[in-house]
Structure 1
Amino acid sequence: MNGTPKLRAAVIGTGGIAEQRHLPALRSAADRIQVVAAVDVDPERLARFRDTHRVPRGYRSTAEMLAAEEPDLVHVCTPPFAHVDAVVHSLRAGAWVLVEKPACLSLAEHDRISEAERDGGPYASVVCQHRFGSAGRHAARLLAEGQLGRPLVADCRTTWFRDHAYYQVPWRGRWHTEGGGPTVGHGIHQMDLLLELLGDWAEIHAVTARLDRDVDTEDVSMATVRFASGALASVVNSVLCPREESYLRIDCTDATVELTHLYGYGNADWRYTPAPHVTDPDRIRRWRTPPAQVRSSHTAQLDLLLEAMDTGRRPPASGDSARRTLELVTALYESAFTGRTVGRHELTPDDPFYHHLHGNTPGWVPSGTEEGSTA
């Protein structure tokens, strides 16, 4: 952009997600953004990252970097337990934020982030990249406009595979560092897309289990969700599935819409099946013709965040929009711990699950765990 100074960006946390997802997104916007600094507590990892990606300066702490660089945009890519402080400090320093999921480990922490935002920016946007592929946005419009009829039944599955070695990383699979298991760490992507398509949820009944992995949390969860519209959804999150798949299906009165992918989708991954009574070929063709392809990705989300920065408006996947997904995750855990159906309206500050996803439940052992194990 001729004559316009580039935005100054910094990356906090220089592990795999920063290298594999955030740096490519930042490079795609190189005409607008200059990556000026990186932060990591591991000096060797920080040095490798800077050398590989030609990042001019490195810091061992967020506070030091913010004071020296005054960035416009900060990408937070640390393990989940370190997110909230990095996000809050960046916002208070005047930087907009793109933070990896989960943005934080509780609704209480999410509300700390909201309190640090200011009208007109800066804001913090949570990585929810599956909302932003062209085909996903097309499906959301069709559903919002009633073009597929009334949503009735949905099936949302994140059936992935993470072996025992994956959990040798000390912070994974631990309540106090990751926040939870595949529900919050993996399935949150597909559940977020489900909410983007079907809107507000009302109540949830869930079970969780620790069947095979050496973790403190669950390695599988299953839930039934009732939406405000009356639609019902079945949700499965698992890291025990050798044949990996992400699957979403919504049956409406006039059509079924399906998405099958793994870690990201394109237009061709979506399918529309008309009900027998729907015979208008032009109507069906409109369903099956999304806009020019934009794959679901960090790049797609970053583009929308930059648009919001230009206009000083709240970006997608921030504030209440991001909180809604964390509310669903929180209620899923609360239902699994307590054995009862949990309504969205119950998630208030006097609820222990508002403060911790495990509700500080003492001595809890997930169903399916061998007797004598501890949580």
Structure 2
Amino acid sequence: MSPLTPLDGRRIRAAVIGTGAIARGSHLPALAELAEEGETEVVAAVDIDATAVEEFCAAGGIPHAYTDLDRMLREQRPDLVTICTPPTLHREQSIAALRAGAWVWCEKPPVPTLADYAAVEAEEGVESGPYSSIVFQHRFGSGTRHVSRLLAEGALGRPLVAHCQTTWYRDTAYYSVPWRGRWATEGGGPAMGHGIHQMDLMLDLLGPWSEVRAMAARLVHDVETEDVSTALVRFRNGTMATIVNSVLSPDEVSRIRIDCERATVELTHLYGHSNANWHITPAVGVPGDEAAAWRDFGPDVPSSHLEQLRELVASMRAGERPRSSGADGRTSLELVAALYKSAFTDVTVKAGEIGPGDPFYTAMHGDAPGWAPAAAPAVGEGVPA
């Protein structure tokens, strides 16, 4: 389906679904900045909590507050819907927006399973949209752009060894919230909900992976999902990588390191990066002027929702598929599914092998013993009829 109205020469009409912290802190400010630039206008917001959505709209100067998504889509006919709700709602809400002719910008994790992702893809437009894009803001900004160019041009030589680290800390109080640490409501543990950002950026820099071997454990928290995972990944270009995802690490850091033939590139940050977070160390023998050019990142544009949204809006106006959508948006979800399958079944998983008919296609736990949610007791087994 094509967008309901042409986008040339007018502001893009946007609606925000879900009015929690990520909507207030990231989506609405990005939309407001583009509104200042004449690109967007936020026409509506939706939340099941009437008071919350009314307060959100009053604070943001948004004219229409709704508690019914379908009604909002019918009455406001937005060009763009930004989805800021829990992962279990992403499939249904994305499909509803696409069917109404709106482009979608959906928070990570994109959806709980690869089957859900395929269902959303099936509703996208064929040639010029609407398309559904996932929020992977770490791909965007001057630092990533500069390093991506150096790698693509081969200036640093072949990438050989990589490390991807998301070692954060979440205490017992964090997991006392009932929906956290549960497959049905959070979609997975730190691999899915925390480390997916760094893994997505690593994939964006290095390209397709070919196989993964992983381990996962519950070392501290009383949850269904893992609280730590590690993986070895081989990329199609031959790069060998390690991945660590943890919520058990008091010294919190997000890190990507890529050792190439002619230099090491390292990104160290926590929740977002600027040029200063990137470091390039040349190999012995690299001319000083060449190394200096590598370290010139240009004007500093930090990674942010704003930078990704700015590119998404440009894609909408051009009628082109945006980055972080379709096959490009699915890559990190496929790696997470493969990581879980390898960890829970003790096998090496090849790229592309998880498809319809595979239990890890329809559930990240794959119904694996010891990892699948416990079945609810049947009537007569302590549950009243």
- TM-score (norm: length of structure 1): 0.94
1:116 aligns with 2:123: yes
User: Partner of 1:13 in structure 2?
Assistant: 18
Q: Which range moves more in the overlay, 347-356 or 73-82?
A: 347-356
Identity %: 55
Give 1:119-198 correspondences, 5 Å limit: 119-198=127-206
Number of equivalenced pairs: 363
User: Partner of 2:358 in structure 1?
Assistant: 351
1:310 aligns with 2:281: no
Of 225, 238, 242, the residue aligned with 1:230 is: 238
The aligned amino acid for 1:212 is: V
User: Partner of 2:381 in structure 1?
Assistant: none
Partner SS for 2:222: coil
> How far apart, in 2, do the equivalents of 1:105 and 1:365 lie?
14
> How far apart, in 1, do the equivalents of 2:230 and 2:167 lie?
11
Of 45, 53, 60, the residue aligned with 1:46 is: 53
5+ residue gaps, structure 2, are: 1-7, 374-385
Return the offset for 1:365: 7.7
> How far apart, in 1, do the equivalents of 2:102 and 2:298 lie?
32
Measured on the aligned residues, the alpha-carbon RMSD in Å equals 1.4
5+ residue gaps, structure 1, are: 367-375
Partner SS for 1:103: coil
> How far apart, in 1, do the equivalents of 2:110 and 2:254 lie?
21
Of 257, 261, 264, the residue aligned with 1:249 is: 257
Q: Tell me if the contact between 1:9 and 1:36 (Cα under 8 Å) persists in the aligned partners.
A: yes
Q: Tell me if the contact between 2:225 and 2:371 (Cα under 8 Å) persists in the aligned partners.
A: no
1:341 aligns with 2:348: yes
User: Partner of 1:214 in structure 2?
Assistant: 222
Q: Tell me if the contact between 2:16 and 2:83 (Cα under 8 Å) persists in the aligned partners.
A: yes
Q: Tell me if the contact between 1:79 and 1:171 (Cα under 8 Å) persists in the aligned partners.
A: no
> How far apart, in 2, do the equivalents of 1:50 and 1:169 lie?
27
> How far apart, in 2, do the equivalents of 1:43 and 1:168 lie?
26
Partner SS for 1:308: helix
> How far apart, in 1, do the equivalents of 2:71 and 2:57 lie?
17
Q: Tell me if the contact between 2:142 and 2:275 (Cα under 8 Å) persists in the aligned partners.
A: yes
Cα-to-partner distance string for 1:59-117 (whole Å, 9 max, x where unaligned): 11211110111001100000010011111110111001110001101111111111110
Cα-to-partner distance string for 1:142-197 (whole Å, 9 max, x where unaligned): 11111101111111100111222222333221101111011010100000000011
User: Partner of 1:74 in structure 2?
Assistant: 81
> How far apart, in 2, do the equivalents of 1:309 and 1:194 lie?
26
> How far apart, in 2, do the equivalents of 1:7 and 1:182 lie?
35
> How far apart, in 2, do the equivalents of 1:171 and 1:240 lie?
19
User: Partner of 2:30 in structure 1?
Assistant: 25
User: Partner of 2:96 in structure 1?
Assistant: 89
Partner SS for 1:242: strand
Give 1:283-322 correspondences, 5 Å limit: 283-322=290-329
- TM-score (norm: length of structure 2): 0.92
User: Partner of 2:332 in structure 1?
Assistant: 325
Q: Which range moves more in the overlay, 281-290 or 8-17?
A: 281-290
Q: Tell me if the contact between 2:87 and 2:186 (Cα under 8 Å) persists in the aligned partners.
A: yes
The aligned amino acid for 1:13 is: G
Return the offset for 1:349: 1.0
Return the offset for 1:322: 0.9
Q: Which range moves more in the overlay, 104-113 or 285-294?
A: 285-294
Partner SS for 2:121: helix
Of 72, 79, 93, the residue aligned with 1:65 is: 72
Q: Tell me if the contact between 1:157 and 1:246 (Cα under 8 Å) persists in the aligned partners.
A: yes
Cα-to-partner distance string for 1:115-156 (whole Å, 9 max, x where unaligned): 110020111110010111111111111111111011111111
The aligned amino acid for 2:151 is: L
Partner SS for 1:320: helix
> How far apart, in 2, do the equivalents of 1:363 and 1:310 lie?
48
Partner SS for 2:215: strand
> How far apart, in 1, do the equivalents of 2:250 and 2:56 lie?
32
The aligned amino acid for 1:150 is: R
